[in-house]
């Protein structure tokens, strides 16, 4: 849609952006050199800073560096493959893969040098993406600024926690106590608490004032029932829920699953039988708890928010990051219910009249999933859990995990066999 | 680890961080305050204060009086003051002494009074004591005390008296002394008044200037942060609780804050010119012309300011005079303030351009009630430029706004401000009648909107698009819906009333704009019709009919538009449609058309069915009525009818060539002068030839008839068919098309034949009669049929294949008859019962095509009587969500096909120049509107190329867009100076298109609170509604209906000119012979009305021919209403109607042309009549021809005060010939009673409104006094007494005696004859009894005389005044009495035709009431007020006028008096 020279003010803006990256790297290098005396990391900072400097100079000189249109078209067509399904599949698959890789190679990835490199890569990628008008349009929308901040802040804190966990794990392996237990467990109210809080208050006020002055609140036109905005998006923190609506009916995605999330968070203290890891970071001692929580929070909540913000466009279609959000784009929706597969495909007969017989296969599948799977797990791979936790706690845990897994399962079913509903009873507005 | 005293973080670091964060917070707060201080409106208001000061300063300088005068006046004041103080000084010592004496005497008097009062009380007590004594003795004793007191009292009384006398004396002396002082004081105050007169205005402005300067207090209060409190800059707003904004879920009070920045909006002196005048030359190079000029100007102003300074200082030297100034002279600025404003700032600060209509509290739309956004839209609560949703009006402006103001379109306000070019749209929200935007006769207050409305009405947009005025019973806009079919008039009165009473959905009123196609087969042929359908403008460039073919989505010649298999479809469809029309038309004429057949069959079926449901009964009644209304047509070949509906025979064609030539010549003559050119144009009349002058009509109310001969060509062998159709049409068009607006012209059959002969003899120039639409291949027809068949309900691919399988003899298999029978009765597919011919396929295609294209929106098409409009409703298009408009790939289309230009109409008003080979121009503004998906862009392109939205879209044939391409600028387009014809056409079309857009954008279906709706009073409403009828029938084509209006600035130049005109008029003979002071005080032909706008003169008149040498820009107008003006010595004068006034365009603020009278002007200016018969019709020296005007349709100014409503109504329904001089007759219009009544009310209401003093009433007029019992008797008695007094009675009786004798002999002879003839004894007796008293002549005369004296004297004399060959009979026929030379209407019509008051005024002063441009007309003033009265009647001239009027108003009775019946006026003069 937009394909032209970058405007001069935009190039200057990008140059300033890279200037910040340069300063960031210089700061990093200076810190490593002066405080840590780590020449290797300082050199890394310097190299990365140089890279950013080149960019900065290029944009100050109005070199008009842009993402190649071929690359942009490639991402668009890639995401649009398979009737537009490739996008969500790729996105979800990559985020799950990334998650697994992150857990597995945590030691390597939490190295400061690697982390710093990754940060720089993401900054440069963002800078390059910014040369695309469609990407810019979406990222710079006032509503979306918190999401960009969310990406970096969640990334940073995840990295930080994992970094500390890795260090502690090493120490525990060596038989040393974790770092946190070396520190005082009590500090003075003044100044350590109140003074810090005061400073935090002031800094927050300052940030909010600046934010309010620089980015005006995006007030839109009066709402009307005659015209809904397209795309109609939930507030950013609910975008994960909204993404579920693609795969589940509102009662499920909007009521049952969110309730289960809350219930799950409430029950954590009661199901968590692992006594280790209190008061200090550790991964090795809480592998199961951390993996499941991070799967739920990062992969199925945060990344879905990012997906909903940046990649879901008009008509809730999936759009590539550099794709124009054309409201006229239509994607095929050829989804089929399980009952159709069963009766028409497998049994080669028409659908039974009564909903119960018609949906019986689906109902059986659902019941089987919920009722048969837990005992099966208790007897097999989760046997130690069962023994440890007892009947009720184990079933609670497994059911919660099952409900959490319901989303990826449905996603995979949708992508692979175009499954619309497992149970489809429009008579009662009951669809799963 | 356990707790320690150690801090977790180092204290010092925390302190530093804390300090740093505090600094940051401070910075952020300062930033915030800075942002607030720099809010857009605050900056603007601060600048505005400078502007205000500068402007007031300039105004002050303009009011700067002559310093000498001021100094003289102020010196005089000083002198008076000195004199006063001198007097006071000189009197001081004497006064002092007197004052001292006065004080002493006052004290003395007071003391004496106190003593006196005290003693008086003691005396009273003593007396009381004495009176209450028990016995005389005691009384005696007390007497002494009383006496003593009495003595004291007397002494004190004397003392008091002396003291008072002394005091009074002193006081008298004192006041004598003070008198001189008082006089001096009076002198002083007079001189002070004088000074105020000389310098008062200046002082007021000087005071304002001094106050407006920024002072310390202001400076302090406007400082950042502090300005949050009592700020000199603040948000201004209007709160409109009664006109809230609809926020979808809630109505919210409207806050309009526009005046926060538009601060000069209500201040008349903030004109753009004045603001531009504030410019400073500093930024301009010294040597530039502009810089030099400015510098010079500024120097002059500085000099004046210095002068002003000096003046104020001079005055201030005297502290007393300084007090008069009311301000500190030091506050007056020393230097002329300049403010450099950009154009946008000037626009921002300037006053509203139409304070007379808007904003001002005295205007029709005061800002307190209407705010700003109710008209302009936009976000009223916003206080900055962007959020208020300003919209640029041109690409140029947009660019400027973008670069200078950072403008970008505000997508978050649904109804952005209307661009200036469309601002009239919103008038439609409250002015639903549209014609209520026409004021003062013909002043179009929203010209673009009104033009749009007219174009929509003319073009028949409502045929396809609903434009309804109501939404659930609430008025939302103009109501332009099609009338019901059959039309309302066809219904029974009861039913009609019921329909009209429906408040939710009353019947529409618009007729279809195209002719009926039911009888098209009689009129033309398929060949012609095909070419017409393909390209109507190809045949007649000015036609209203839009183009359906050869457009961007169906032109086979355009690359990539039609796929190969559709290339033949357009032609196939054209063939099919024309085939259908002629086929159905023929069937209709033969009485065999299917629909009538089906209706009859259905009716019969229903009638036979005994067990009808309620619905069926209704259907049956409807069918019966329809059939009754739609009688079987009679083809023209069988009979033709004249205007009265009588069957006549076709006039024969002259045998010889000369006869034919004469007929044609006569035809042209009739066509030219019988009014055809009021509606039509014809190239044949534009060429002079022999006695025919060139008459170039630009009328486009009816079609241009130049190529008529090529069109009237029925496919019949009969050689008379063409003539027959045309003669019939001219005689009575209703036969062919019952709803046509073409009137019956009252031509005789022979005359119609002449006109027809001429019309048919005119060659269709530039028209190749042979050319034809290429015939489609049969396969194309089959393919096209397939397209529709596949979409027919229940039709499968297999069915269609079967139906379209070819069989023997060029036929197709068709549908099995049994299958066809099963289809619904009205299914078109029933006609495809096999085997089918190509014609059947064409018929089928045409049914589908007509349904799809909606031909029945404009034409009555056989078989489509009940079809519904096909287009989108336009009721709320003006606020349609642009996301619901399918813009498709239009931007690419426009980019490819057009050349974008910044503007279509340049500063000079010229259209764009297009070089050869260049793409057509396209206005950048609209291109950008398309890019940004704005309604305006969509609409503009939709009107230019309605189907271009199909560009680059894959569509099946029947899914393509179907709106046809209109051309709105029709008629004869005249290029401006320096413009080519081509440019002019583009310009006119662009203007017309924008007008249509303005109208459509105004359709927002927003129910406005009732208080805001324009609901004029009953008279104004009659005017508004009447205007619509006048326009509907083009009454203004012939008659002049309203005069023009010139709004003039009463400058001194104009006043001088008016004074001249006034003197001219008072010197004129007509002024002297007027009855002005006695009769017509309240009448606006004599007495001007005060102007509704105090700042301008409203001159009503018509353009008058100007004398040969005039100044450039000078204009002449002949007044149709008296003009009231104030002359230079503040005297008010009236220049009466009929006088000529001149002015120049410098004084002209606005003008409105006269409404109507086109035909008369056309004929007069073309000199048609004066060329044809220069004896009878003469040209005046100035080019006018009052003779011609008398022969042409009369102007209808003052028609309402002139005629009786009942008569006018009858006349409109069936007009008859009135004026012998007129060469054409008022035609009979095809209008309803309601419409006729609307016109009657219009004329009466107009005169009631514009002439309130004369008491015009309607629709019923008060009974006329002359027709009351006893009127004549009463007048006769008085009159007879008068006669006797003047010793004229006997003379009259002597004159009457021979008449009586004649009557006597007549009567007796009659009675005797009756007696003789009578056989019956009783009857004879009765007759004899009748005869007996009158047998004797003397006795008869005596009774007659008595009768005459008591009852008839007034009537007979008045009658003689009327029945005089010198006067009325000269031109008018009066009953039996013939006119010498009949030129005026018969006067016996007067009684029922004219209003009594008007008749009086007319007889007295016709020159004031009938206004021709030249000022001359044939009605003489027979009763001049300054002439000797006529001898026939005893009385003053005024009495005589009244008497003539009385006779006319009661003519039937007066003329029936025997003495009048027998009277024959003497021939020749009697004066």
Residue A2 has pLDDT above 60, yes or no: no
| DSSP, res B1111 | -
- B1456 burial (CB, 10 Å; 0-12 / 13-18 / 19+) is exposed
Q: Is A211 on the interface with B (CB under 8 A)?
A: no
Q: Which of B7, B18, B28 sits opposite A209 (nearest CB)?
A: B28
pLDDT reported for residue B1468: 56
| Nearest beta carbon to residue A199 from set B18, B411, B881 | B18
pLDDT in tens, B294-347: 888 888 888 888 888 887 887 777 777 777 777 777 788 888 888 889 888 999
DSSP state of B1076: T
The gap from C-alpha B369 to its chain's centroid, in whole angstroms, comes to 23
N- to C-terminal Cα separation, chain B: 144
Give the whole-angstrom CA distance, residue B1055 versus residue B1128.
7
Distance from C-alpha of B364 to C-alpha of B352, rounded to nearest angstrom:
14
Whole-number pLDDT of residue A4: 67
What distance in Å separates the CA atoms of residue B653 and residue B723, rounded to the nearest whole number?
10
Q: Tokens for B1445, please give them.
A: 């009027």
Whole-angstrom distance, CA of residue B1251 vs CA of residue B1085: 9
Answer whether A426 touches B (CB < 8 Å): no
Residue B1471 has pLDDT above 50, yes or no: no
Tell the residue number behind the tokens 């209060």, with chain if given: B221
What pLDDT, in 10s, does the model give residues A19-31? 999 999 999 999 9
Q: What is the pLDDT of residue B1?
A: 44
Half-sphere exposure of B985 (CA within 13 A, CB side): 11
Ranges A136-150, A376-390, B978-992, B1306-1320: which has the least confidence: B1306-1320
Query: A-B interface: how many C-beta pairs under 8 angstroms?
Result: 84
Domain segments of chain A: what residues? 1-66, 70-185+230-316, 338-431
Q: In angstroms, what separates the C-alpha of B1007 from chain A's closest C-alpha?
A: 17
Q: How many CB atoms lie within 10 A of CB B1302?
A: 13
Of the candidates B371, B320, B391, the residue with the CA atom closest to the CA atom of residue B932: B391
pLDDT in tens, B226-249: 887 878 888 999 999 999 998 888
Question: Nearest C-alpha of chain B: how many angstroms from A186?
Answer: 5
Q: Give one word for B28, left, alpha or beta, with left for phi > 0 and alpha for psi -120 to 50.
A: alpha
- Phi, psi torsion values for B604, nearest 5 degrees: -60, -45
B261-270, B1286-1295, B1316-1325: lowest mean pLDDT where? B1316-1325
Contact check, Cβ <8 Å, B9/A191: yes
Question: What are the percentages of helix, strand and coil residues in chain B, rounded to 5?
Answer: 55, 5, 40
Residues of A within 8 A of B247 (CB-CB) are: 222-223
- Measured between alpha carbons, how far is A275 from B351 in angstroms, rounded to an integer? 80
Residue of chain A whose alpha carbon sits nearest to that of B25: A206
**CB-based contact (8 Å) between B38 and chain A?**
no
Q: Does B798 touch chain A (CB under 8 A)?
A: no
Q: B988 and B973 in contact (C-beta within 8 Å)?
A: yes
> Between chains, do B28 and A210 touch, taking CB under 8 Å as contact?
yes
CA distance B901 to B531: 35
What are the two backbone dihedrals, phi and then psi, of residue A60, each rounded to the nearest 5 degrees?
A: -60, -35
H/E run at residue B68: helix B67-90
Higher-pLDDT residue of B290 and A149 is: A149
Nearest-10 crossing angle of helices B136-212, B289-317: 160
How far does CA B548 lie from the centroid of its chain? 35
Cβ <8 Å between B4 and A198: no
B996, B455 Cβ separation under 8 angstroms:
yes
Distance CA(B1237)–CA(B1209), nearest Å, equals 6
ipTM field:
0.84
- Phi and psi, residue B833, nearest 5°: -65, 125
Start-to-end CA span in chain A (Å):
39
Phi, psi of B563 (to 5 degrees): -65, 160
A195 and chain B in contact, CB less than 8 A: yes
Asked if the C-beta of A204 comes within 8 angstroms of chain B's C-beta atoms, the answer is: no
Residue A23: what pLDDT?
Answer: 96
Q: Which residues of B touch A206 (CB under 8 A)?
A: 21, 24-25, 27-28
Rounded-to-integer distance, Cα A402 and Cα A408, Å: 10
With CA atoms as reference, the chain B residue closest to A223 would be: B248
Select from B6, B21, B32 the Cβ nearest to the Cβ of A213.
Answer: B32
Q: Does the structure show a pLDDT above 80 at B285? A: no
Q: Give CA–CA dist B859/B512, Å, rounded.
A: 6
- For A2-44, the three-class secondary structure string (H helix, E strand, C coil) is CCCCCCHHHHHHHHHHHHHHHHHHHHHHHHHHHHHCCHHHHHH
- Chain A, 266 to 295: residues with Cβ < 8 Å from chain B are none
Asked if the Cβ–Cβ distance from B412 to A224 is below 8 Å, we say no
Q: What is the pLDDT of residues B61-90, one digit of tens each?
A: 888 888 788 788 878 888 888 888 888 888
Q: Let me know the angle formed at the C-alpha of B917 by B912 and B919, rounded to the nearest 5 degrees.
A: 55
Determine the average pLDDT of the residues in B1322-1334.
83
Question: Does residue A188 belong to the interface with chain B, where contact is any CB pair within 8 Å?
Answer: yes
Closest to A192 (Cβ–Cβ): which among B7, B411, B883?
B7
How far does the CA of residue B615 sit from the closest CA of chain A (Å)?
37
Enumerate residues 6+ apart whose C-beta is below 8 A from B204.
none
Contact A191 B248 (CB under 8 A): no
Tell if the CB–CB gap between A185 and B1 is shorter than 8 Å: yes
DSSP, residue by residue, A371-386: IIHHHHHHHTTTHHHH
Indicate yes or no: CB of B248 within 8 angstroms of CB of A202.
no
pLDDT digits (tens, 9 = 90+) for B1115-1136: 999 999 999 999 888 899 999 9
A384 has a chain B CB within 8 A of its CB: no
Structure tokens at B163: 């003291």
Buried b or exposed e, range B187-198, using 16+ CB within 10 angstroms? bbeebbebbeeb
Is the CB of A206 less than 8 angstroms away from the CB of B2? no
Residues in chain A: 432
Q: How far, in Å, CA of B147 to CA of B607, rounded?
A: 133
- Contact in structure between B1447 and B1276 (CB atoms under 8 Å): no
Residue of B nearest to A209 (CA): B28
Distances, alpha carbon B843 to alpha carbons B584, B819, B858, B1057, B1168, in Å: 9, 19, 20, 73, 50
Asked if residue B344 lies in contact with residue B405, where contact means CB atoms within 8 angstroms, the answer is yes
Quote the percentage of chain B above a pLDDT of 70.
99
From residue B972, alpha-carbon distances to B539, B683, B1100 in Å are 15, 11, 29
Burial class (CB in 10 A: 0-12, 13-18, 19+), B776: buried
Could you tell me which of B1343, B1340, B1348 has the C-alpha nearest to residue B1279?
A: B1348
Chain B contact for A205, CB < 8 A?
A: yes
**Average per-residue pLDDT for chain B:** 89
| C-beta of residue B539 within 8 angstroms of C-beta of residue B711 | yes
Residues in chain B with CB shorter than 8 Å from the CB of A228 are none
Question: B599 pLDDT band (50/70/90 cuts)?
Answer: confident
Smallest CA–CA distance from B11 into chain A, residue: A191
Q: Which residue has the higher pLDDT, B1158 or A181?
A: B1158
In angstroms, the separation between the Cα of residue A213 and the nearest Cα of chain B is 7
User: Any chain A CB within 8 A of the CB of B229?
Assistant: no
Pairing mode, if any, of strands B811-812 and B806-807? antiparallel
Residues in chain B: 1471
Mean pLDDT to the nearest integer, B930-947? 94
Q: From A203, which residue of chain B is nearest by alpha-carbon distance?
A: B21
Write out the E strands in B294-386.
358-359, 365-366
Q: What is the mean pLDDT of residues B100-127?
A: 88
Q: Give tens-digit pLDDT for B765-812.
A: 889 988 999 999 999 999 999 999 999 988 999 999 999 999 988 899
- Rounded Cα gap, residues B1254 and B1240, in angstroms: 18
User: B26 to chain A, minimum CA–CA distance in Å?
Assistant: 8
Residues of A in contact with B4 (CB under 8 A): 184
CB B1362 within 8 A of CB B1448: yes
| Partner A contacted by B413 (CB < 8 A) | yes
In tens, the pLDDT along A130-159 reads 999 999 999 988 888 889 999 999 999 999
Torsion of CA A53, A56, A57, A59, to 10 degrees: 160
Mutate to test the interface with A, among B12, B18, B409 (most CBs of A within 10 A): B18
What is the spatial distance between Cα A374 and Cα A365, in angstroms, rounded to a whole number? 14
Closest-CA distance of chain B to residue A228, Å: 11
Residue A219 contacts B, CB cutoff 8 Å: yes
The answer, yes or no, to whether residue B1357 has pLDDT greater than 50, is: yes
Chain B contact present for A196, CB below 8 A: yes
Residue B6 touches chain A, beta carbons under 8 Å: yes
CA B254 to chain centre: 30
CB B922 within 8 A of CB B901: yes
Neighbouring C-beta atoms of residue A129, cutoff 10 Å: 17
pLDDT over 50 (residue B815):
yes
- pLDDT at position B390, please? 93
Chain B contact set for A203 (CB, 8 A): 21, 24-25
Query: Taking CB atoms and an 8 Å limit, are B8 and A192 in contact across chains?
Result: yes
Average pLDDT, integer, range B186-193: 86
- Pairing type for strands B899-901 and B921-923 reads parallel
Query: Does the pLDDT of residue A1 top 80, yes or no?
Result: no
**B403 contact A CB<8A:** no
Confidence of residue B1078 (pLDDT cuts 50, 70, 90): low
Contact state of B881 with A221 under an 8 Å Cβ cutoff: no
Asked if the C-beta of B412 comes within 8 angstroms of chain A's C-beta atoms, the answer is yes
Peptide bond into B835 cis (omega under 30): yes
Q: What is the dihedral of CA B1316, B1317, B1319, B1325, to 10 degrees?
A: -50
DSSP state for residue B1243 in the 8-state scheme: H
Residue B2 contacts A where some CB pair is shorter than 8 Å: yes
Of the pLDDT bands very low, low, confident and very high (cuts 50, 70, 90), residue B1402 is: very high
- Whole-number pLDDT of residue A237: 86
């Amino acid at each position: 849609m937009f394909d032209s020279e970058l405007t001069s003010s935009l190039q200057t803006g990008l140059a300033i952006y890279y200037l910040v990256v340069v300063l960031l790297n210089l700061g990093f290098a200076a810190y490593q050199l002066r405080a840590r005396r780590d020449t290797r990391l300082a050199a890394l900072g310097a190299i990365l800073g140089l890279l950013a400097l080149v960019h900065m100079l290029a944009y100050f000189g109005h070199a008009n560096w842009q993402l190649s249109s071929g690359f942009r078209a490639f991402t668009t067509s890639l995401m649009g493959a398979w009737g537009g399904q490739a996008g969500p599949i790729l996105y979800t698959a990559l985020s799950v893969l990334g998650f697994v890789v992150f857990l597995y190679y945590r030691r390597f990835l939490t190295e400061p040098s690697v982390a710093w490199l990754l940060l720089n890569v993401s900054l440069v990628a963002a800078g390059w993406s910014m040369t695309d008008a469609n990407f810019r349009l979406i990222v710079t929308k006032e509503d979306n600024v918190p999401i960009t901040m969310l990406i970096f802040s969640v990334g940073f804190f995840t990295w930080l926690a994992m970094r500390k966990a890795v260090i502690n794990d090493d120490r525990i392996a060596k038989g040393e106590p974790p770092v946190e237990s070396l520190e005082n467990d009590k500090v003075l109210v003044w100044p350590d608490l109140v003074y810090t809080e005061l400073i935090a208050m002031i800094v927050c006020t300052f940030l909010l004032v600046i934010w309010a002055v620089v980015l005006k609140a995006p007030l839109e036109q009066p709402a009307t029932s005659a015209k809904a905005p397209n795309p109609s998006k939930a507030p950013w923190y609910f975008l994960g829920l909204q993404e579920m609506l693609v795969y589940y009916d509102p009662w499920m995605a909007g009521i049952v699953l969110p309730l289960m999330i809350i219930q799950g968070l409430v029950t954590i203290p009661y199901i968590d039988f692992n006594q280790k890891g209190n008061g200090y970071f550790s991964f090795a001692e809480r592998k199961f708890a951390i993996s499941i929580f991070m799967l739920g929070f990062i992969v199925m909540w945060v990344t879905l928010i990012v997906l909903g913000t940046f990649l879901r466009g008009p008509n809730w279609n999936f759009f590539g990051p550099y794709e124009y959000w054309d409201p006229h784009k239509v994607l095929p929706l050829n989804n089929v219910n399980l009952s159709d597969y069963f009766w028409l495909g497998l049994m080669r007969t028409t659908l039974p009249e009564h909903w119960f017989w018609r949906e019986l296969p689906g109902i059986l599948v659902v019941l089987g999933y919920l009722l048969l799977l837990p005992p099966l797990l208790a007897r097999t791979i989760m046997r130690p859990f069962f023994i440890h936790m007892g009947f009720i706690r184990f079933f609670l845990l497994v059911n919660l995990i099952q409900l959490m897994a319901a989303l990826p399962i449905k996603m995979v079913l949708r992508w692979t066999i175009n499954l619309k509903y497992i149970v489809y009873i429009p008579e009662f507005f009951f669809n799963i | 680890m356990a707790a320690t005293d150690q801090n977790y973080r180092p204290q010092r670091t925390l302190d530093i961080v804390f300090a740093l964060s505090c600094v940051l917070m401070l910075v952020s707060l300062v930033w915030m305050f800075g942002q607030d201080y720099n809010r857009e409106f605050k900056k603007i208001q601060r600048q505005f204060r400078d502007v205000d000061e500068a402007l007031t300063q300039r105004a002050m300088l303009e009011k700067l009086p002559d310093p000498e005068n001021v100094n003289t006046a102020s010196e005089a004041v000083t002198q008076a003051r000195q004199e006063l103080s001198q007097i006071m000084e000189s009197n001081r010592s004497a006064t002092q002494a007197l004052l001292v004496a006065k004080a002493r005497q006052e004290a003395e008097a007071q003391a004496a009074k106190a003593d006196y009062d005290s003693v008086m009380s003691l005396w009273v007590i003593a007396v009381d004591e004495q009176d209450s004594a028990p016995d005389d003795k005691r009384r005696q004793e007390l007497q002494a005390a009383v006496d003593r007191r009495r003595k004291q009292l007397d002494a004190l009384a004397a003392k008091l008296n002396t003291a008072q006398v002394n005091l009074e004396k002193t006081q008298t002396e004192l006041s004598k002394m003070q008198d001189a002082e008082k006089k001096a004081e009076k002198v002083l105050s007079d001189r002070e008044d004088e000074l105020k007169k000389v310098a008062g205005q200046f002082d007021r402005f000087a005071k304002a200037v001094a106050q407006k300067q920024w002072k310390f207090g202001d400076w302090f209060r406007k400082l950042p942060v502090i300005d949050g409190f009592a700020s000199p800059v603040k948000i201004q707003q209007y709160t409109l609780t009664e006109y809230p904004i609809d926020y979808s879920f809630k109505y919210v009070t409207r806050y309009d804050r526009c005046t926060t920045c538009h601060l000069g909006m209500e201040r008349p002196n903030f004109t753009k010119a004045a603001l531009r005048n504030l410019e400073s030359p500093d930024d301009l190079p010294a040597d530039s012309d502009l810089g030099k000029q400015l510098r010079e100007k500024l120097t002059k102003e500085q000099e004046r300011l210095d002068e002003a300074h000096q003046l104020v200082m001079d005055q201030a030297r005297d502290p007393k005079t300084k007090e008069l100034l009311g301000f500190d002279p030091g506050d007056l600025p020393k230097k002329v303030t300049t403010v450099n404003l950009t154009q946008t700032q000037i626009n921002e600060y300037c006053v509203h351009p139409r304070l007379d209509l808007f904003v001002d509290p005295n205007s029709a739309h005061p800002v307190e009630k209407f705010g700003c956004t109710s008209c302009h839209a936009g976000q009223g609560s916003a206080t900055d430029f962007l959020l208020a949703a300003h919209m640029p009006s041109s690409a140029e402006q947009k660019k400027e706004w973008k670069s200078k103001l950072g403008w970008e379109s505000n997508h978050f306000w649904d109804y952005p401000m209307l661009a200036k070019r469309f601002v009239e749209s919103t008038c439609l929200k409250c002015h639903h009648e549209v014609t209520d935007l026409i004021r003062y006769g013909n002043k179009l207050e929203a010209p673009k909107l009104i033009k749009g409305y007219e174009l929509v009405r003319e073009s028949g947009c409502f045929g396809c698009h609903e434009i309804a005025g109501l939404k659930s019973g609430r008025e939302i806009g103009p109501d332009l819906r099609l009338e019901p079919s059959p039309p309302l008039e066809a219904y029974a009165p009861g039913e009609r009333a019921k329909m009209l009473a429906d408040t939710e959905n009353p019947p529409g009123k618009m007729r279809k704009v195209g002719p009926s196609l039911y009888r098209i087969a009689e009129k033309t042929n398929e060949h012609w019709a095909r070419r017409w359908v393909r390209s109507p403008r190809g045949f007649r460039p000015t036609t209203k009919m839009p183009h359906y073919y050869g457009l961007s989505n169906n032109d086979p010649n355009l690359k990539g538009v039609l796929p190969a298999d559709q290339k033949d479809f357009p032609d196939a469809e054209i063939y099919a449609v024309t085939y259908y029309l002629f086929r159905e038309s023929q069937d209709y004429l033969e009485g065999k058309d299917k629909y009538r057949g089906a209706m009859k069959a259905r009716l019969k079926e229903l009638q036979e069915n005994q067990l009808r449901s309620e619905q069926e009964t209704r259907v049956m009644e409807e069918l019966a009525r329809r059939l009754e209304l739609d009688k079987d047509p009679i083809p023209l070949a069988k009979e033709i009818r004249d205007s009265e509906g009588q069957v006549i025979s076709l006039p024969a064609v002259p045998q010889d060539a000369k006869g034919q030539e004469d007929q044609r010549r006569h035809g042209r003559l009739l066509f030219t002068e019988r009014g055809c050119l009021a509606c039509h144009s014809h190239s044949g009349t534009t060429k002079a030839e022999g006695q025919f002058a060139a008459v170039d009509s630009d009328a486009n109310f009816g079609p241009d008839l130049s190529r008529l001969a090529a069109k009237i060509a029925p496919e019949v062998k009969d050689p008379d068919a063409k003539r027959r159709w045309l003669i019939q049409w001219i005689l009575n068009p209703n036969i062919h098309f019952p709803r046509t607006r073409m009137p019956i012209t009252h031509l005789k059959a022979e005359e119609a034949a002449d006109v027809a002969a001429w019309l048919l003899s005119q060659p269709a120039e530039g028209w190749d009669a042979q050319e034809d639409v290429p015939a489609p291949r049969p396969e194309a027809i089959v393919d096209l049929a397939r397209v529709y068949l596949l979409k027919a309900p229940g039709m499968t691919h297999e069915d269609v294949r079967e139906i379209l399988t070819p069989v023997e003899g060029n036929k197709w298999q068709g549908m099995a008859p049994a299958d066809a029978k099963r289809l619904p009765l009205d299914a078109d597919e029933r006609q495809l019962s096999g085997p089918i011919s190509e014609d059947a396929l064409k018929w089928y295609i045409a049914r589908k095509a007509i349904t799809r294209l909606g031909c029945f929106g404009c034409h009555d098409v056989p078989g489509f009587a009940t079809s519904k409009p096909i287009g989108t409703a336009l009721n709320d298009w003006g606020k349609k969500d642009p996301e619901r408009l399918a813009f498709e790939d239009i931007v690419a289309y426009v980019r490819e096909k057009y050349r974008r230009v910044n503007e279509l109409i340049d500063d000079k008003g010229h259209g764009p120049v297009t070089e050869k080979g260049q793409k057509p121009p396209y206005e950048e503004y609209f291109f950008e509107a398309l890019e940004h998906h704005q309604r305006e862009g969509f609409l503009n392109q939709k009107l230019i190329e309605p189907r271009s939205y199909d560009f680059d879209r894959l569509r099946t044939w029947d899914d393509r867009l179907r709106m046809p391409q209109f051309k709105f600028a029709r008629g004869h387009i005249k290029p401006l100076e320096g413009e080519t014809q081509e440019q002019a056409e583009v310009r006119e079309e662009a203007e017309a298109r924008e007008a249509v857009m303005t109208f459509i954008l105004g359709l927002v279906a927003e129910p406005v609170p009732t208080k805001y709706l324009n609901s004029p009073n009953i008279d104004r409403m009659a005017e508004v509604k009447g205007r619509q009828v006048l326009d509907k029938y083009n009454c203004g084509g012939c008659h002049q209906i309203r005069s023009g209006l010139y709004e003039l600035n009463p400058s001194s130049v104009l006043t001088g000119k008016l004074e001249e005109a006034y003197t001219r008029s008072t010197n004129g003979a007509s002024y002297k012979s007027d009855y002005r002071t006695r009769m017509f005080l309240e009448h606006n032909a004599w007495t001007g009305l005060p102007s509704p706008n105090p700042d301008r003169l409203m001159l009503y008149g018509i353009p008058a021919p100007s004398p040969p040498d005039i100044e450039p820009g000078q204009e002449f107008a002949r007044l149709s209403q008296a003009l009231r003006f104030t002359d230079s010595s503040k005297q008010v004068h009236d220049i009466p109607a009929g006088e000529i006034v001149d002015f120049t365009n410098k004084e002209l603020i606005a003008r409105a042309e006269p409404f109507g009278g086109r035909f008369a002007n056309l004929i007069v200016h073309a000199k048609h009549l004066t060329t044809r018969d220069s004896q009878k019709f003469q040209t005046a020296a100035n080019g006018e021809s009052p003779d011609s005007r008398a022969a042409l349709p009369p102007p209808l100014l003052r028609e309402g005060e002139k005629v009786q409503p009942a008569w006018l109504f009858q006349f409109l329904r069936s007009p008859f010939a009135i004026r012998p001089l007129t060469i054409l007759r008022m035609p009979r219009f095809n209008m309803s009673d309601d419409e006729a009544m609307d016109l009657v009310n219009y004329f009466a209401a107009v005169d009631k409104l514009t002439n309130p003093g004369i008491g015009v009433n309607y629709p019923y007029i008060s009974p006329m006094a002359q027709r009351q019992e006893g009127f004549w008797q009463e007048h006769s008695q008085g009159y007879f007494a008068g006669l006797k007094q003047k010793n004229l009675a006997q003379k009259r009786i002597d004159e009457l005696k021979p008449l009586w004798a004649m009557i006597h002999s007549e009567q007796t002879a009659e009675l005797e004859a009756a007696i003789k003839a009578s056989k019956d004894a009783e009857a004879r007796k009765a007759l004899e009894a009748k005869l007996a008293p009158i047998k004797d002549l003397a006795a008869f005369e005596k009774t007659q005389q008595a009768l005459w004296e008591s009852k008839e004297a007034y009537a007979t004399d008045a009658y003689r005044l009327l029945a005089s060959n010198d006067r009325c009979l000269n031109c008018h026929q009066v009953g039996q009495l013939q006119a010498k030379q009949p030129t005026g209407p018969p006067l016996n019509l007067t009684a029922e035709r004219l209003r009594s008051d008007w008749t009086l005024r007319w007889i007295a002063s016709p020159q004031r009431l009938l206004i021709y441009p030249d000022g001359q007309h044939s009605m003489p003033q027979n009763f001049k007020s300054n002439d000797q009265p006529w001898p026939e009647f005893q009385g003053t001239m005024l009495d005589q006028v009244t008497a003539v009027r009385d006779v006319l108003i009661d003519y039937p009775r007066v003329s029936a008096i025997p003495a009048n019946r027998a009277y024959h006026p003497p021939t020749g003069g009697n004066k």
